[in-house]
Structure 1
Amino acid sequence: MTGAPVPFGARLAAAMDEAGPLCVGIDPHVSLLDDWGLPDDAAGLREFGLRVMDAVGGHVAAVKPQAAFFERHGSAGVAALEEVIAAARAAGTLCVVDAKRGDIGSTMAGYADAFLADGSPLAGDAVTLSPYLGFGSLTPAAELAARTGRGIFVLCLTSNKEGSQVQHALGPDGVSVAASIAAQAALLNAGAVDDGLPMGSVGLVVGATVGDAARATGTDLQAVHGPLLAPGVGAQGAGERELTAVFGRARRQVLASSSRGVLAAGPDTAALRSAARRAADEASAALRG
């Protein structure tokens, strides 16, 4: 009889300690494909994703393929995404599938099966989710992730200008939507706290360029006791000062995500690996110095 799987939060904490708190986004923008001399089709995306994995697999804490860029090419694109996820698994590198799914009832359960069930070719180690049909609508995913040792990252404070219209809004209890999302994530991580684990497996997505949004909305990021996925590091302008302003005392929970800042060094494998190493070192200095 096999034992229970090691929770995602514990595996991620160990990977961040070993390789630095960096997640490399695998975002095959059309412009990047062109820069790399690759066609904008499923074959080009497959080559792009596998080259990134060849360069950074085993050298960074995590990778984060953006599902939308693959899905735009239909079933062949999804098949390419499955290969990238499999390559991450083979390299022993944690994979966060950036799918931002969110629905209710059996439909949410279907998304959970796709991205979190053992044996699914789309299942990495974690998936990004949208809670804006109500945090409770994510229950099928949260429960399946807990059973399979995977994680979820719930959108909380995003850097797009439209996000504040919802995330900063106050509910009838006077609590902001963002603060409520963080508090409910903290409840799901309470068991990890009780078990003495370094982090829970329910994380939040918090943009690295949102400034004082956490303070302004009363969102207690440190109390979440889970990983904080922070897109926007590097090419989008977030450095040590910005990360300190956004995360404060929660900085050690942050998994900084960089895509273009690393991918612009491609397609050369050695150059990509070097760029990822620099980004990981910079993230460590900013978040753990």
Structure 2
Amino acid sequence: MGGSAAGAESFSNRLGSALAAKRHLCVGIDPHAPLLDDWGLPNDASGAERMGREVIAAAAGVAACVKPQIAFFERFGSAGFAALERVLADARAAGVLVIADVKRGDIGSSFAAYAEAWLAPGSPLEADAMTVTAYQGFGSLGGAFDLVRAHGKGLFVLAATSNPEAGEVQRARRADGRSVARAMVDDALAFESPADTHVSSVGVVLGATLTLADFGIDVALPSARPALPVLAPGFGHQGARIEDAASIFGGLGWALLANESRSILSGGASGLAERVRARSAAIGEALAHGTSTRP
């Protein structure tokens, strides 16, 4: 059942169970034009829907979660959102955790409305977690915290991203000497999740192609409790190797979600399930042997 069902487990508990079972793969759903063409699908909402639903079927019970990139649906307008709603409905029916990659950020009632759209039980766009930006300050995310606490949802706050334009802002020093990126990690760590969970409801996005020390981020956090979930784009097509995850993320590695999209989606629907299964197993084994144990 989806995350909004009465009595359903929270995002953090479901994610914790997946990680304990060595499922660390987050499969990106990125139906951009070249990939749709690779799949022999039209570059329209119907093609995006077909790809998304195929990924859900392949990921169920194998990957830790999926991450639809909303921009690739949004570009088709209302038809794209209708397609996405059907993809999300498939995920809820299959019990697949969904991180909506929406990168929303605003203040007051505006951000609360974004949170309601993507996290409120019963919303057509309901996901289990969403990516957010806190450029206006971590407190600006307050409009989502009630949904996170009351309905067992999750947030992933952008902290250190791999695009070259981000470094100047994310490495900038605040008055207290911490980098902006480090402050995002610290604020996420300070979020009070339920005492009985092993994984926090609020995590961060950290690029796997980065040297995190350059951003002032200390990865020696094996004692963090509950563990800080880390959504890490950059593996696969972008060049980061999962075998290097221990040196990249250190003590953050237990709750690592390795996001891969193009490396799995390229090649079309044929063999998709086998590629998801193979990458999930390889990532799980690499992290089991290379990173810290459960905090």
Among the aligned pairs, what percent are the same residue?
A: 47
- Tell me the equivalent position of 1:170: 173
Q: Contact conserved, 2:22 with 2:285, CA < 8 A, in 1?
A: no
- In 2, Cα distance between the equivalents of 1:126 and 1:274? 26
| Displacement after TM superposition at 1:79 (Å) | 0.8
Pairwise mapping of residues 178-197 of structure 1 onto structure 2 (< 5 A)? 178-188=181-191, 190-192=192-194, 195-197=195-197
- In 2, Cα distance between the equivalents of 1:36 and 1:234? 19
Pairwise mapping of residues 65-76 of structure 1 onto structure 2 (< 5 A)? 65-76=68-79
- In 2, Cα distance between the equivalents of 1:37 and 1:200? 40
1:46–1:219 Cα change, 3 Å: same
Over the aligned positions, Cα root-mean-square deviation in angstroms equals: 1.7
- In 1, Cα distance between the equivalents of 2:198 and 2:36? 38
Matched position secondary structure for 1:127: strand
Does residue 107 of the first structure (1) align with residue 149 of the second (2)?
no
Does residue 200 of the first structure (1) align with residue 200 of the second (2)?
yes
> Hey, which bits of structure 1, 4+ residues long, moved more than 6 A?
none
- Tell me the equivalent position of 2:49: 46
Superposed CA offset, 1:219-250 (max 9, x none): 24534822100111111111135422320121
- In 2, Cα distance between the equivalents of 1:140 and 1:5? 22
- Tell me the equivalent position of 1:22: 25
- Tell me the equivalent position of 1:124: 127
Give the TM-score taking structure 2 as reference length: 0.90
| Count of residues paired in the alignment | 281
- In 2, Cα distance between the equivalents of 1:34 and 1:254? 31
One-letter identity of the residue aligned with 1:288: A
| Displacement after TM superposition at 1:287 (Å) | 1.6
| Displacement after TM superposition at 1:142 (Å) | 2.3
One-letter identity of the residue aligned with 1:243: A
Give the TM-score taking structure 1 as reference length: 0.92
- Tell me the equivalent position of 2:217: 219
Q: Contact conserved, 2:59 with 2:65, CA < 8 A, in 1?
A: no
- In 2, Cα distance between the equivalents of 1:277 and 1:238? 19
Q: Contact conserved, 2:26 with 2:63, CA < 8 A, in 1?
A: yes
Q: Contact conserved, 2:22 with 2:284, CA < 8 A, in 1?
A: no
- In 2, Cα distance between the equivalents of 1:172 and 1:63? 37
- In 1, Cα distance between the equivalents of 2:6 and 2:48? 37
One-letter identity of the residue aligned with 1:172: A
Matched position secondary structure for 2:40: coil
Q: Contact conserved, 1:20 with 1:280, CA < 8 A, in 2?
A: yes
- Tell me the equivalent position of 1:276: 276
Contiguous gaps of at least 5 residues in structure 2: 290-295
- In 2, Cα distance between the equivalents of 1:99 and 1:281? 28
